[in-house]
Structures are given as C-alpha cells and as structure tokens.
Amino acid sequence: MAVLIDNDTKLVVSGITGREGTFHALNNKRYGTNVVAGVTPGKAGQDVEGIPVFNTFGDAVKETGANVAMVFVPPRFAADSILEAADAEIPLVVAITEGIPAHDELRVYTHLQRTGTRLVGPNCPGILSPGKANVGIIPASFFKEGNVGVVSRSGTLTYQIGNTLAQAGFGNSSIVGIGGDPVPGSSFIDIIELFQADDQTELIVLSGEIGGDAEERAAEYIAEHVTKPVVAYIAGFTAPEGKTMGHAGAIVSGSKGTAAAKAEALESKGVRVGRTPTQVAEIAVEILGG
Amino acid sequence: MDLLEYQGKQLFARHGIPVPDGRPARTVDEAVSAAKEVGFPCAVKAQVKIGGRGKAGGIKIASDEDEAREHADAILGMDIKGFTVHEIWIEGASTIEAEYYASIVFDRGAKAPLIMLSTQGGMDIEEVADSNPDAIATLHVDPLLGFQDFHGRKLCFAAGVDADLVRPIGAFLHQLYGTFVAEEAVLVEVNPLIVTPERGVAALDAKVTLDDNALFRHPDNANLRDPSDEDPQEQMAKERGLTFVKLDGDIGILGNGAGLVMSTLDVVAQYGGAPANFLDAGGGSKAEAITSAVEVILSNDSVKAVLFNIFGGITRCDEVANGLIEAFKQLNPSVPFVVRLDGTNDVEGRKILAEASLPNVHTAATMDEAAQKVVELAKGEAA
C-alpha cells in the first residue's frame, strides 16, 4: 500500500496546455503515473502527447474515470479550478499553485469540508508514492520504495530529508507535501492518520517549520492516536520575529509559532526531533535499524 | 502588507466605518494647514508601522496653530523603535467616554475569521488577554455564511456592552467584517474603538494588514506600499523578484526553496556561524536569477563568506553553476564561496564549476559539510 496515490490513480491535470502544466504532466506520466486527461476550457478535442484534453473536469471524469486532480493554473484561477474539480466529485485534488489569496483558500477549505473532497496543498510539491505514482513536482529519481512515510510543509526540504534517509538506506511509502500556506487543505494530522493506517509505513517523518500551530496540534494527535514511531524536524530555529520566511505561513508572531516551541511540544509527547536533516536520518536508523 | 494608521482609516471610511476627520502631512507646513482645516484641538500622530507610538511621544494634542507647528516639527523625523517618521496624520480631537477594542484575524487553527471584542480597549490587549481573558469576547464566522447581525449582538452581550450600544457596536462590527472581506485583509484591528458622549462610536486607530497575494484584485491598495520604509537591500531583492530577508550576521546564504533555506540558516548557526540573510532563489532558478541574487547578497558589506545550498528539483544545478560563473565575471567578489549542489543535473553542475575553477570557490558534498566550511571561512580559520 501507499497513501493517497498508487497504481489505481487516474490523474487529470488542469492547466495541462500551459508551459509548466505540460512539463510536469508529462514528467508524471513518464514516471508511470496513469495520466488520463487534461482540462483547459475551450481546448476540448486537443491532446498533449496523447493525453486527451477536455473543457471541464466533469467531462474528463465522465470520459476517463479520473479520480485525482492536479491543479497547475495561475493563482487567480486556482481556487476556481479546485472548486470545479470538487464539483465533478473528484475525491482528491492536489494543488501545486503558489500565491493563492488567503480568502480564496478559506472559502475553498470550508466548502471542501462539506463536500468531502480531499485537498492537498496548495503551494505544495505534490505527492509521490515511489514505484507507483507521482503527482506534482517532486524529483522522483531521488526516492525509492520503502517503509518511511514523509509529510512536509516544504518542498526542497523534503528532498533534503528524503535524500539523507535514502543515503542511510531507507525508502519511502509515500511523501506528501502539504504546503507552506496558512490554510492548507490537508494538515499534518490528516496525513499522519493515513500513514498510521497504512501497512507499508513503519516510521513517520514529520517535517515542519515556524508559523501557526500545526506541529503542536500534530503532537497532541500523535500522543493520542499514533502507535508507529514518529521523527520530526523543524526548520527556522534562527528565524527572526515578525519576518515572513518565504512561505506565506512561515512567520513567528510574538511568542507563538517558534521552532523551539514546536520542537518542545513534539518532544513532550515522545516524538524525537532531529536538529538537522542528517540527525533525522540518524534517528531513523536507531529506530528501524540500519 | 501592513498599512499606516491613516491608510487603514481611509479604507474604513470607504466602507462606512465612522472615523475622525483628518489629513496626512509630510512637512511641517502641510501639517499646519491640515490642522487649520480640521480645526482645534487636533491630534498630531506619527505614522509608523509599530505599536507604542503614544508612549514614545509620537502622539500629541495641539490646541492652536503654534502648538500644531511645534508638535509636527518634533514628530517628523523622530525615531520610534527603529522606524523613522516620514509622515504624520492630523485629525480632529475626539471626546472619549469609553475605549473598546475590536479586531478580526485570520484564525489559522480554526480556518475561519475570528472576531474579538472587549470593553477594555485603549491599553495593550495582550495584557488584558493575560490578566482577564474573560474580558475579551470571541466568535468565529463561517466564511461562506459571512457576518450576520446576531453575531454582533452575541459578541456585545458576551463582552458586557451597555444595552444602548449593542446596536451601534453591532453595526460597527458588521462594517469591519465587510472591510476585512472586501479588501482581503488578514488583520483589521481597532484600538481604541471609542464611545462618544453622544453614545456614538468611531475608530480612533486602525491597524490593517492586507494579503499580498490578493493585491492583483485591488490595484488601488497595491499603491499603498511605502518603499521608503523598507530596507534598501530588501527593496533591491524585491525588484529582482527574490524572496529575501536581511539578518544580522556575516554569512550570506542562498538556497532554493523556503524550507531548505530556513534549514540552512539553522545548520550554519549550529556550527557557530551567523547568517547575514535569508535568500530563496526560488524554484526553476535560471542563471540570471542566480547572478542577481549574488549581487544582492554582496551589496551587504558585512558579508565575509557566502554559502550556496542547492537541492535541485525544478531547479537545475547546471543553471545554478552557470549563474555563479556569470556573477563572478560581473562582480569579481573578494569573499570566499562554498557551494553545495545536489539534485537535478548535479553532475553537470559540478563539472561546469570545476572547469571554470573560480578563485576562492570551495565545494562541499553535503549540507553539513558546506555549513561547517563556510563558518570556518567566515572566521578566517580556513584558507
């Protein structure tokens, strides 16, 4: 098993005829992901290297049975695209787009809670289940199949941690980037719940950063509901107060949201926290054996 | 984007929120004529994006023209917690019967706007929250349903507002929510929200933070940015489309991806170094972006060494290497560089760098090794 995406994934990509959309849809297809359709309004009947394009998500679902949507359109159109995918009753939407207005994200989140569509992202690198499917922009060649599940707020940091884990001999069940925005569609808790239930996952790695209280909430959840070992990493110990560090959600406000407070919250619940990505891999070796 | 008090008040006024009549001024003469227009007594208020202006002497009442001149002269150019006063706001003095507090924030945990109302305004609200949390009434609004009149009543009764003020305060909160949504703010705060002897209400201060990502829908608001109060280096980075934060140390840092850059700062600090900046060159960084990033980093004279930490995904390491070579050609830097290249096209990238044999450029195989090396170089411990 893996979480969220696997061999049964049928992917539909909105924005597939755009430069980035084409590049990454084809990249995902080359990896082996079953990319069944694209959506660009007004371009129905065209195809992108054999992937048929439809006017709407509804048409794409009807014709191809697509069950995962990837949103790759510019920020001003992204909320609308996510809502359209949900309207077509696609159960999982992965939004890569960075810079979606916060009020858009809030409305989308609230609506999706009611319709039952799961959103991963926005502003995320996507999901990779090594050996099965890749939806998004994670450079899959650095990862192999294995028993470590990774959930992260940051893209490149995930690659760094995944790489050090790989050098220590570990592969991954799935890697899920939940994104660095203040209102992500899925939280650490949502994904950890999936890893806890996933047979393939024997260790969960949580990669967090400054801002908000998602890590603190995850700590509480882990203490109550998770029996598998969890290792965490928090970025931003040296981040100054009041400055946004690249991600819209990464800001230390007052005494809240600091890396130290997050590490402490996790450690108080028995989660070991690596101080560097290398340490995360070392702890993984201690837990799972080298 | 944080707004100045008067910019916030102008937004409020556009949405029907009562605010005192006022004028902005950038010179003493402008201030005096503004004071004559709004009438005496009037308040002369420093416009800076930091709290505690009053205590710092940045707010004074003028009862005549001479006093207006004197106060404007004292306040313009004043330094308030590191912020220089370039602008002041002159407004008619208000008669205050009571001071309340009202705000709407983006509650990330609850994923909903949170409205707060307290009858203990005028002072530091964090103090009230600590000493008497019951004095602050709170309520989440469903973002799809929006603000309903009963929300206002519920908050007023919970906060202990006098019965005759429930209607005007409720209306005030409704307008404040309208501003929050229409302008796509992530914070609106009014402290104090004043009650007048006539039992009316008005916003005597305004703290507004707008969502930068939504400014494309609000071109008028996008013009409110005041570049004069930004750090020149941060401004330079912004013009080049780079995500940059200036820090106090002496090691320049460049990486790709916010999380990896934050992590790089931490690892450098663990080896005893002090980062001079956070710079995310972004996904898909082309050679040109790398060159201008190096230029921004080196524009800070305190930088003694520079660390490049790249883990290519979309970003291609050969592009980064070419950008670095171009930067050396153009800028001829005198400080040492440590480069770590991993990920997409890393073999090509390392080869390009090796063949260029740039002076004073060291390579490292891992993030840890790179951090350790750059710290040694910055301290002058390694050659």
Q: Are residues A151 and A207 in contact, defined by beta-carbon separation less than 8 angstroms? A: yes
A254/B263 touch (CB, cutoff 8 Å), yes or no? no
d(CA A143, CA A163) in angstroms, rounded, equals 7
Binding site for ATP: which residues of B?
45, 52-54, 91, 94, 99
Helix (H) or strand (E) holding A209: strand A203-209
Report the gap between the CA of A39 and the closest CA in chain B (Å).
23
Can you give the residue ranges of every domain in chain B? 21-92, 98-223, 232-379
A157/B314 touch (CB, cutoff 8 Å), yes or no? no
Query: In CATH, which of 3.30.470.20, 3.40.30.10, 3.40.50.300, 3.60.21.10 is domain B98-223?
Result: 3.30.470.20
Task: List b or e across B202-213, with b for residues whose CB sees 16 or more CB atoms inside 10 angstroms.
Answer: bbbbbbbbbbbb
Q: In this structure, which topology does domain B21-92 adopt according to CATH?
A: Dna Ligase; domain 1 (3.30.1490)
Rounded mean pLDDT, A80-105: 97
Return the minimum-mean-pLDDT range out of A238-242, B162-166, B230-234. Answer: B230-234
For residue B383, pLDDT over 60 is answered with no
* pLDDT at A243 (0 to 100): 85
Distant-in-sequence, close-in-space partners of A229: CB < 8 Å, separation ≥ 6: A202, A203, A204, A287
The pTM assigned to this predicted structure is 0.93
By annotation, the residues of B acting in catalysis are: 101, 189
Rounded mean pLDDT, A33-55: 96
Which of the pair, B227 or B225, is modelled with greater confidence? B225
Return the minimum-mean-pLDDT range out of A134-138, A242-246, B270-274. Answer: A242-246
Listed by number, the residues of chain A in 59-98 with a beta carbon closer than 8 Å to a beta carbon of chain B are 75-76
Q: What is the DSSP string of A109-127?
A: HHHHHHH--EEE-SSS-EE
* pLDDT at B238 (0 to 100): 83
At A78, is the secondary structure helix, strand, or coil?
helix
B262/A107 touch (CB, cutoff 8 Å), yes or no? no
Q: A103 CB near a chain B CB, below 8 Å?
A: yes
In chain B, which residue's Cα lies nearest the Cα of A161? B260
pLDDT tens digits for B253-299?
999 989 999 999 999 999 999 999 999 987 666 788 889 999 999 99
Report the gap between the CA of B259 and the closest CA in chain A (Å).
5
Report the gap between the CA of B81 and the closest CA in chain A (Å).
14
pLDDT band at B18; cut points 50, 70, 90: very high
Report the gap between the CA of A77 and the closest CA in chain B (Å).
12
Which of the pair, A120 or B132, is modelled with greater confidence? A120
Q: Which of B149-153's residues contact partners 24+ apart within 8 Å by CB, and which partners?
A: B149/B174, B151/B115
Residue among A111, A238, A278 minimizing CB distance to B368: A278
Strands A230-235 and A203-209: what pairing?
parallel
Rounded mean pLDDT, A56-78: 97
Report whether A40 belongs to an annotated binding site: no
**Residue whose entry in the numeric block shows the structure tokens 């009611």:** A114
Q: A276 CB near a chain B CB, below 8 Å?
A: yes
For residue B382, pLDDT over 60 is answered with no
pLDDT tens digits for B117-146?
999 988 777 777 778 888 899 999 999 999
CA distances from B157 to A209, A247, B136, B177 (A): 39, 39, 11, 18
User: Mean pLDDT in chain B?
Assistant: 92
Q: Which domains does chain A have, with CATH numbers?
A: 10-120 (3.40.50.720), 143-289 (3.40.50.261)
CATH 2.40.40.20 for domain B232-379, yes or no, is no
Beta-bridged to residue A172, according to DSSP, are A148
pLDDT tens digits for B170-209?
999 999 999 999 999 999 999 999 999 999 999 999 999 9
A139/B343 touch (CB, cutoff 8 Å), yes or no? yes
At A233, is the secondary structure helix, strand, or coil?
strand
Rounded mean pLDDT, A267-288: 94
Q: Are residues B24 and B87 in contact, defined by beta-carbon separation less than 8 angstroms? A: yes
Cα-Cα-Cα-Cα dihedral sign, residues B349, B355, B358, B363: positive
Neighbouring C-beta atoms of residue B233, cutoff 10 Å? 17
In chain A, which residue's Cα lies nearest the Cα of B249? A238
Peptide bond into A130 cis (omega under 30): no
Q: A225 CB near a chain B CB, below 8 Å?
A: no
Listed by number, the residues of chain A in 184-213 with a beta carbon closer than 8 Å to a beta carbon of chain B are 207, 209-210, 212-213
Q: Which residues of B touch A254 (CB under 8 A)?
A: 126
pLDDT tens digits for B337-355?
999 999 888 999 999 999 9
Residue among B243, B267, B311 minimizing CB distance to A276: B267
d(CA B302, CA B312) in angstroms, rounded, equals 29
